[in-house]
Amino acid sequence: MNNEALIPAATVMMLRDTADGPEVFMVVRHHEIDFASGALVFPGGKVDSTDFDPSLRAHCGSADVYDDKELALRIASIRESFEECGILLAREKGESDFISAARLQELEGWRDRFNNGDATMLEFAESENLEFAVDALGFFAHWITPEMMPKRFDTYFYMARAPQDHIGEHDGSESVDSIWITAKQALADADAKKRTVIFPTRMNIEKFAKLESVDDALSQCGDVVTVTPFIEKEGEKSFLRIQANAGYGDPKEDVTRGF
């Protein structure tokens, strides 16, 4: 059993409605990244220690309804989505609307600072008079890396409606490509081997595929079963499985040749 400490992480399914159904913003991870290299994923990453700064509560909408861990996860989600895809769930302090595209452009330089580890969310909020829209995130899924893996993540999946005029663009560092894509297209590309989609991502895309709009998706948030995949042997074969009550059906992925 792998007793290494779980690494808290957060990822965001940033959504928008289109005539073909809801789309999600996804990025292609750099091939030199040590986890899910080259895969099509939702923006996200590890929670930083600075995301737990108690002073951030004064810069978050509806912060009082979240405990310290939940608030840090939501702050990390907002930081990672801004850093990796240039979409920022934030408001000018005291305002009710998300920041405009013009204001977002003024803040572009902060993305490099976050990528380089030269900035914290508290510095960002205080310098730019921002309030982070942690209340705009819906808690959609919770996955823990299987015990046999050398590095284990405790990952929280959130959903959010992208601000209408925030286009989205990969950072060129951790992610090397990006796309707004429907669940149907993402699954078709994965089946055709055009894109690499790892198991947890695929499971959540399949769940998303059943939803008809962003409102529909956000209405499904909140009732979450923690998923920890496990290996099940069938003769000479090995399959990756999850518990039946998790809301993903009964998936079974052949990992006989390697996880």
Residue 117, in any domain of the structure: yes
Which residue has tokens 């737990």?
Answer: 52
**Residue 54 shares a structural domain with residue 126:** yes
Domain extent for 249: 229-259
**Residue 23 shares a structural domain with residue 143:** yes
Q: What is the identity of the amino acid at 223?
A: D
Number of domains in the chain: 2
**Residue 196 shares a structural domain with residue 255:** no
The pLDDT, as a whole number, for residue 35 is: 43
Global pTM reads: 0.89
pLDDT digits (tens, 9 = 90+) for 148-158: 888 899 999 99
List the alpha helices (DSSP H) in the chain. 68-85, 101-106, 109-115, 121-128, 183-191, 199-209, 214-219
Residue 1, in any domain of the structure: no
**Residue 39 shares a structural domain with residue 97:** yes
Q: What average pLDDT score do residues 194-222 get? A: 92
Whole-number Å distance between alpha carbons of 209 and 216: 11
Is pLDDT above 70 for 173? no
Residue 181, in any domain of the structure: yes
**Residue 90 shares a structural domain with residue 125:** yes
**Residue 59 shares a structural domain with residue 83:** yes
The pLDDT, as a whole number, for residue 202 is: 93
- What residues contact residue 228 under an 8 Å CB cut-off, 6+ apart? 143, 144, 145, 146, 147, 242, 243
Residue 186 pairs with which residues in a beta bridge? none
**Residue 150 shares a structural domain with residue 235:** no
Residue 102, in any domain of the structure: yes
Q: The CATH number of the domain where 215 resides is what?
A: 3.90.79.10
**Residue 46 shares a structural domain with residue 109:** yes
Q: How many CA atoms lie within 13 A of 68 on its CB side?
A: 6
Q: What average pLDDT score do residues 238-250 get? A: 89
First to last CA, the chain: 16
Residue 174, in any domain of the structure: yes
Is pLDDT above 80 for 86? yes
Residue 2, in any domain of the structure: no
Q: Is 68 helix (H, G, I), strand (E, B) or coil?
A: helix
**Residue 210 shares a structural domain with residue 236:** no
Least confident of 25-29, 215-219, 237-241: 25-29
- And the tokens for 102? 């013009």
Q: Is 5 helix (H, G, I), strand (E, B) or coil?
A: coil
**Residue 60 shares a structural domain with residue 169:** yes
- As a whole number, the mean pLDDT across the chain is 88
**How much of the chain is helix, strand and coil, in % rounded to 5?**
30, 25, 40
**Residue 35 shares a structural domain with residue 118:** yes
**Residue 187 shares a structural domain with residue 244:** no
